[in-house]
Amino acid sequence: MDFDDQLRRYFATDDLADVTPEGLAAGIERMRVDFGMEKDRARRFALWTLLYMLGAAPDLDVAFKDEDDRNSARDWMDMMARAQGE
């Protein structure tokens, strides 16, 4: 799942700066629904990462049943924090 494809699918744009607050909320809601229905682990992880970047990701214990998936998400969160200089 490509990042630009996710932006176009959920927000109808390649640039989140173009999205209105209402459009952002609607896109996030659609992502949450798809996340809850998605069975493919890789696609679920991709959806979760974008939700995380938007401040709307579910907690890890809710999002991922598998401990390996939760650890991967923690690693990704740590990587993002380092990239932002935290």
DSSP 10-67: HHSSS-GGG--HHHHHHHHHHHHHHHHH---HHHHHHHHHHHHHTT-PPPHHHH-SSH
- For the entire predicted model, the pTM comes to 0.89
User: Would you state the pLDDT for residue 66?
Assistant: 93
Give 10-residue mean pLDDT values along the chain (86 residues): 87 93 97 96 94 95 94 95 85
User: Would you state the pLDDT for residue 2?
Assistant: 82
| Counted domains in the chain | 1
User: Would you state the pLDDT for residue 28?
Assistant: 97
Range of the domain at 16: 3-83
